[in-house]
Structure 1
Amino acid sequence: MASAGANLRRDREKAVKATATPTSHTPRADIQALRAFAVAAVVLFHVWPKAIEGGYIGVDVFFVISGYLITGQLVRLRERGNLRLGAFWAARARRLLPAALLVLLASTALTVLFAPPALVTQYLRSIVGSTLYVENWVLAADAVDYLAAENAPPIAQHYWSLSVEEQFYIVWPLLVIAATTAILTKKYGRRALVALLLAITVGSLVLSIVTTFAAPSFAYFATPVRMWEFGFGALVALIPSIIVPALLRSLIWIAGWAALLFSAFAFDSATPFPGYAAILPVSATALLMLIGPAPPFRLASMQGWKPIQWLGDNSYGIYLWHWPLVVIAPAILGADLELWQNILLVITTCVLAALGKRFVEDPLRFGRLATFRPRAILAGTLVAMLLVVAAAGLPALSIAASTQAQTERAQAEVADPASCRGANILLNPSCEGARDIPVPSADLIPGLGGLYDDTDGAFDCYTAAETALEPCHIGSDDPEAVRIALTGDSHAAMLVPGLRDVAADAGWSIDVYVGRGCVWSADPDPKCAARQASLQKDLLSNGYDAIVVTAWNQLEATDQVRQQRAERFAERWRTAREQGIQVIPVLDNPGIAQSSADCVTSTSSFTFETCAFAAADFLREDPLALAADESGVTPVDLRGAYCDPDGVCPMVAGGVVVYRDLHHITASFSHSLAPYLLDEITALLDAAPSTSP
């Protein structure tokens, strides 16, 4: 019995080892060199972005390599008849998750200890998404979410590519099995698989090209858009061996590496990516793997150089560790890193990667854990992931709850003009003496831990796509109430929290039409045509007494563009006034300096001038003001709530943070602005005996 049991254990260990690693031989030197290039490109891009502006293509190189190695492994296992999904996924978990979870735990500690308060919740949310391997979808959603798109890069942002890979590892073996189930012979099974992979690769490439121009941020992170890059590698793995003459191999080798270097140094943030541009580095990587080991000449043989091979061997750990250090180091030092500090950061990254490989990755990958049943490994993996989620998620929930409670307690006080908080600090003359009273960062409203989330329902009916707007209702339900339509983009939405405070008592019934772009004007853009037609119909036919309109006054717009926008606004406003509807434009708040936004997250005490910026640099002529002059309407101008007569614009006014990003005000500031907005609109409504021109 004992002997039989021992034999059974040995058989099981052999079976596990057969599926534990992609290959049983030493990694190919040329593939390790590609890994070394890929990780070096990414790290250098993140540490010195101006030196290698296209270094992000390193991720695409990794995707092609993964497609090649994993497809080769799966097909070999399938043809031998011992492809077991549980064993495959357990092997992937052993290979990737220990190091990844270790870095996420370290990132959690670094976040809690050193991250700026305004970024802690965002960083922890990123860690949770990365632990669950959905970070790419979190970032894709944030990229589509207009309000989150400008947030600072989170500490686990680089896990988006690992999330894409993990999703690939789940789906790909299922596709291999599906394509080869009916025909298990090597010849026809491979043909069926090649046909399926060709269809997926071509379809994904077309999707990539289309979405890169239609929704570039989404295209960058979404798994289906990236699947073609794995497909290129997978197809190389399935192509029969081809004997290529040495001269041709040499030419392909030179061309492939030249294409990779060109992509890394010629591409930049303005390059539409992935799309057409990604075809170059992806094809180059695939060709370099297709020709096999390097041709026998001196330059090619350098890719076997030990430092390059070491870099390839440790590329996974280097990729994991570098980004948290890049993100957190400036917060620890309180300043941007100098050259020698960046060099030290890169060295530290390599040391941590080497230690992780020696004491975490290799022991768990090749040690006794390799003999455990796949079921046990997967269960242990799930437990470890849940522990990391708890380590990051519980502090995030605690901070969010505390910040929300603090903000809610202060809401009534902020809206009281006598409190000298928020807009009151500039609009209430009796509050002038309160400007120099210091407010600790811990007492700010909203709390910095919830700054990015301080919207208070402003975007409950906000529409991101250029589709027809479905209005939300706030204020009075009295049939005799003054009927007002509020329309515009996200800047109009930010007025909602304050208007909600005062609308019912003022006897206003407000329908809110807010969405991204395509604001109410005679905009000729075809993508706005459907929304403009629907909005025009609703605003003119629903019996409104007044239309309140505001829109983002974009800093980068030229004077010519501002004038064109003004003319388009004025054309719509004249039509409304001809039908007896009053138009009340609300002039927009200024944009702010990035340095001022960064200052808020790293300062411990605030007075009026702390982190302030100059109005002359960020307050531009508003197209709404130009349109008001042209069409003969009177605007609401509350820009005095944002900057004093000397042109000093505070980031924190009376303990209230004014901006949640580079141009949106916080809901807390909106609450403080509400009494003044009420007075201004009421005065205009009362002063208009007739709304005809």
Structure 2
Amino acid sequence: MRSVTPDSTPMLGDYDGSRRNNFTALRIFFAWCVLFGHSFPITGHGELNPLREFFEKSTWIGEIAVSGFFAISGFLVTASFARRGLLDYCISRVLRIYPALIVCVCLTTVVLGAWLTTLERADYFTNPRTWNYLWNTTALFPMSFRLPGVFESLPRPGVNGSLWTLPVEVSCYILLMVVGATGLLRWRTLGNLAALALLLFAFNYFGDIPLVGRIEKWAEPCVYFLLGVVCYLNRAAIPLSLPLGVAAAALAYVALGKPWFDFVFPPAFVYLIFFLAYRSPFLDIDRWFGDPSYGIYIYAWPVQQVIVYLFPQQGPYFNTALATLVVVTLALLSWHFLEKPALGLKRRWLKTSPEG
């Protein structure tokens, strides 16, 4: 790590390996933003979302939050691969994604589905769609969103619409693993050329990219993941200063509603994420609460749907408030009793400290 004096501008690379960052706080905030954003369409009040006009139809709060997740992920998992190698990388990714996902999908299928289905219990458990939903535990295929007879009368009948991003995430992990195995991540110039070539290719032929090109909707999170990778490769050349942070925020705002939004907003937003992660006051969320962000993300939609089912006359703000209380509780339980112990297995196997 380069020595930083009070008069010098710190670079992103100066924080290599530092745990004094606000990534956990940002992920929790992004996860809650997805919950808040979904509360409007889930309750059938999508047109009442107060942020629609602010974003001038360029994007919406849930999309921004998911993009932030992918940018952070691209940066951190690239760092993990570069520092610890292929085996550690693979074990870390599996232990971070799958234990909580498997439990969430199984609880949704066996408990929530059996409770709320309009079918006879025997018909529900013999319906092929019930067991096909369990394929969501693999996160290797486009997700199935419906269970037979569950939430079919609600404005949004999907059981857990948020899960669509997980196959994208896993596909990005696999592609990064392949690229990392070739050694391209060791050299900044080659890595940048490869990233630029991939970006230009994806602009015209995204559907031809292995794994991630299967669904057009996956393009945006993949771009943000790639930006996170590029930020890690160029961390020694990216200054983190207050004027640049303010400029990035201003540029992101000005880009809303403009034809050039897709070219300007992503890098400005990603820069702002890393500025806030390393240069804003350290909150030390991990010490006091752990990291419930993943649990908030995967449990929010089904909990919000149950609230709509039980309180059909209530609107998005009631849904947001009650869902926040329930989901954060579930997420904290998931972190402390499932996710964190699962990550601890890596420390036991490889004699390293766990990293999400």
TM-score normalised per structure 2: 0.70
Partner of 2:266: 282
- Paired with 1:328 and 1:280, the residues of 2 have a C-alpha distance of 39
Higher Cα Rg, which structure:
1
* 8 Å contact kept, 1:33–1:309: no
Distance 2:37 2:247 in 1: 23
Which residue in 2 is equivalent to 1:92? 93
| 1:130 counterpart letter in structure 2 | N
Q: Match for residue 113 of structure 1? A: 115
* Corresponding residue of 1:239: 234
The amino acid that maps onto 1:349 is V
Q: Deviations over 1:393-427 (max 9, x none)?
A: xxxxxxxxxxxxxxxxxxxxxxxxxxxxxxxxxxx
Distance apart, 1:326 and its partner CA = 1.4
Q: 1:195 to 1:342 in 2, by over 3 A?
A: closer
When residues 170 and 257 of structure 1 are mapped into structure 2, their CA distance, relative to the original with a 3 A threshold, is same
The structure richer in helix per residue is 2
CA gap 1:337/1:227 in 2 versus in 1, 3 angstroms: same
For 1:312 and 1:282, locate their aligned partners in 2 and report how far apart those are by CA, in whole Å: 28
The answer to whether 1:364 aligns with 2:328 is no
- 8 A contact 1:253–1:294 mirrored in 2: no
1:104 deviation in Å? Answer: 1.2
Contact kept? 1:123, 1:156, Cα under 8 Å:
no
Give the aligned partner of residue 30 of structure 2. Answer: 38
Match of 1:74 among 81, 103, 109: 81
| Cα distance in structure 1, aligned partners of 2:221 and 2:248 | 21
Q: Matches of 2:285 and 2:17 in 1, distance apart? A: 23
Deviations 1:282-327, CA, capped at 9 Å, x for gaps: 31332135557555xxxx43xx346799789321111011011112
Q: 1:501 maps to what in 2?
A: none
Identify which of 180, 192, 216 aligns with 1:219. 216
Determine if contact 1:35/1:62 at 8 Å carries over to the other structure: yes
Residues 153 and 231 of structure 1: CA distance in aligned 2, closer, same or farther (over 3 Å):
farther
Q: Which has the higher strand share?
A: 1
Structure 2 alignment gaps of length 5 or more: 1-15, 41-45, 53-59, 147-154, 208-213, 352-356
Query: What is aligned with 2:328?
Result: 350
| Cα distance in structure 2, aligned partners of 1:281 and 1:363 | 38
Structure 1 residues 128 and 205: CA distance shift in structure 2, 3 A: farther
Classify 1:253/1:208 alpha carbon distance in 2 versus 1 (closer, same or farther; 3 Å): farther
Does residue 136 of the first structure (1) align with residue 142 of the second (2)?
yes
Indicate if the aligned counterparts of 1:28 and 1:293 stay in contact, CA closer than 8 A.
yes
Return the TM-score normalized by structure 1.
0.38
Alignment-derived partner of residue 21 in structure 2: 28
Deviations 1:25-80 (A, max 9, x none): 42522x33432332232111012451344112211111111111111222234xxx
Answer yes or no: is the 8 Å Cα contact 1:259–1:280 preserved in 2: yes
Say if 1:373 and 1:124 are closer, same or farther in 2 by CA, change over 3 A: farther
Q: Is the 8 A contact 1:60 1:281 kept in 2?
A: no
Q: Show the counterpart of 2:195.
A: 197
Q: 1:461-496: CA deviations, max 9, x gaps?
A: xxxxxxxxxxxxxxxxxxxxxxxxxxxxxxxxxxxx
2:312 equivalent in structure 1: 335
Is the 1:38–1:62 contact (alpha carbons within 8 Å) kept by the matching residues of 2? yes
2:336 corresponds to which letter in structure 1? R
Is 1:251 matched up with 2:251?
no
Kept after mapping to 2: 8 A contact 1:155/1:323: yes
Residue matched to 2:176: 172
Alignment check: 8 A CA contact 2:73 2:225 kept? yes
Equivalent pairs counted in the alignment come to: 300
Say if 1:203 and 1:37 are closer, same or farther in 2 by CA, change over 3 A: farther
Higher relative contact order, chain-length normalized (CA < 8 Å, sep 6+): 2
* Distance (Å, rounded) in 1 between the aligned partners of 2:326 and 2:270: 32
> How far apart, in 1, do the equivalents of 2:202 and 2:132 lie?
26
Distance 2:141 2:254 in 1: 29
1:66/1:230 contact within 8 Å kept: yes
Could you say what the CA RMSD is over the residues aligned between the two structures, in angstroms?
3.9
Pairwise CA distance, 1:202 = 2.8
User: Per-residue deviation at 1:362?
Assistant: 0.9
Q: CA deviation at 1:179?
A: 4.5
